[in-house]
Amino acid sequence: MLALGKLLELTLAGHEPAAKLQLTHEGTRLRWLAEGALEVTPPAASDNGLDLLLSAGIHGNETAPIELLDRLLHGIASGELKPRARMLFLLGNPAAIRQGERYIEQDINRLFNGRHEMTTGFEAMRACELEHLAATFFGQPGRTRLHYDLHTAIRGSKIEQFALYPFQEGRARSKRELARLSAAGVEAVLLHNKPSTTFSAYTYSQLGAEAFTLELGKARAFGQNQEVNLDRLEARLHSIIEGREPETQDGEFGDLQLFAVAREVIKHSDGFRLHLPADVENFSELPVGYLLAEDLSDTRWVVEEQGARIIFPNPRVKNGLRAGILIVPAEAPLLA
């Protein structure tokens, strides 16, 4: 196997490879771009026009997706997996990955779409670098652009594998991409209704990619992800990479559930209180009238929406950041 296929091993060791460019027997090119960043280019005769960005480790303790990318790269570097798509593999926060922490100073996934310019520190610099890497990769005109940013959640979830679909004013959601997610084992999709500062929101709104944040189970340490079943996603990624993906009929989403954001719960002060059990799961249902949270100046969040559920509840975020999202079943979205 080519040494550059060991991107995770190199990243964990903090080593830069001596050889920055290597070729497989079939002529697929692996090129080291920066720490945790590897570009894969198929032979010109095999290229099917897809640019596929796969990122993981934006949060350093979300190891199941990192291990998935590692398996994919091993397959490419050994010649077992034969790409027809151009690819960019990104391990988002190498320092946090090495320490097994969510982040070092601040959450990178709140620093895209210009937010990194408003702060300083390691994660801000890395967010800027990731934007440049993605923009350069997606810079070739006339190609199809797809980005999966792979995560696992802090807590358990009643719907284990779900996706977050970013928002852009006037842009329709893709029927093909929803069908593709369903085929990959994704059970639900949250349709955002305003701009965001996540990595997938950046590639979606600024670079024109179809882009998704994928939540794939609960975060665990390396080697402890036996309960995170990524078989369907991994099989689908193999077929996308090799250009042999089965055709799907428009609108065939299977049992895919669609949700919309009703409200965000923002923590304004150290006096913020979230009235949920510490072990509450994502997608837990909340009854109308439930007092969800309180903050200073008699600020209260009371559930008013029928069918409301909570995702990403976290009272320990910094002041000014989102401490949870109230979601509701979505009406039929505008599709293209």
Q: Which residues contact 91 (CB under 8 A, 6 or more apart)?
A: 7, 8, 11, 36, 37, 55, 56, 57, 66, 69, 97
* Per-residue pLDDT at 249 exceeds 70: no
* Per-residue pLDDT at 251 exceeds 60: no
Q: Is 268 marked as a binding-site residue? A: no
Fill in the DSSP letter of residue 4.
G
Q: Which residues contact 124 (CB under 8 A, 6 or more apart)?
A: 106, 111, 116, 117
* Per-residue pLDDT at 6 exceeds 90: yes
Question: What pLDDT does 224 receive?
Answer: 77
Give pairs for 20-26: CB < 8 Å, separation 24+. Answer: 22/77, 24/76, 24/77, 24/79, 25/79, 26/79, 26/82
Q: Provide the token pair at 316.
A: 């320990």
For 63-68, what is the mean pLDDT?
A: 95
Of 39, 210, 215, 281, catalytic: 215
Q: Provide the token pair at 51.
A: 């640019």
215 is catalytic: yes
Q: Is 59 marked as a binding-site residue? A: yes
pLDDT tens string 201-245: 999 999 999 999 999 988 787 787 877 889 999 999 999 999 999
Q: Provide the token pair at 106.
A: 């601040």
Question: What pLDDT does 234 receive?
Answer: 97
Domain boundaries, the chain: 3-241, 265-311+323-329
Contact, 153 vs 161, CB < 8 A?
no
pTM of the model: 0.94
For 99-128, what is the mean pLDDT?
A: 93
* Per-residue pLDDT at 258 exceeds 90: yes
Contact, 197 vs 265, CB < 8 A?
no
Question: What pLDDT does 226 receive?
Answer: 79
Q: Is 151 marked as a binding-site residue? A: yes
Q: How confident is the model at residue 116 (pLDDT cuts 50, 70, 90)?
A: very high
Q: In whole angstroms, what is the distance from residue 56 CA to residue 181 CA?
A: 17
Contact, 49 vs 84, CB < 8 A?
no
Considering the domain 3-241 in this protein, what is its CATH number? 3.40.630.10
Cα dihedral across residues 193, 198, 204, 207: positive or negative: positive
Query: What does the DSSP assignment read for 109-174?
Result: GGSTTTGGGG--SHHHHHHHHHHHHHHHHTTSTT-EEEEEEEEEESS-BSS-EEEEE---TTPPBP
Question: What pLDDT does 184 receive?
Answer: 95
For 178-191, what is the mean pLDDT?
A: 95
Strands (E) across the chain are located at: 21-23, 29-34, 37-41, 50-56, 86-91, 144-153, 161-165, 188-191, 210-218, 257-266, 273-274, 284-285, 291-295, 299-302, 309-311, 322-329
Higher per-residue confidence, 153 vs 12: 12
- For residue 292, give the nearest of 327, 324, 329 by alpha carbon: 324
Question: What pLDDT does 248 receive?
Answer: 65
Q: In whole angstroms, what is the distance from residue 58 CA to residue 15 CA?
A: 19
Tell me the residue length of the chain: 336
Pairing of strands 257-266, 188-191: parallel
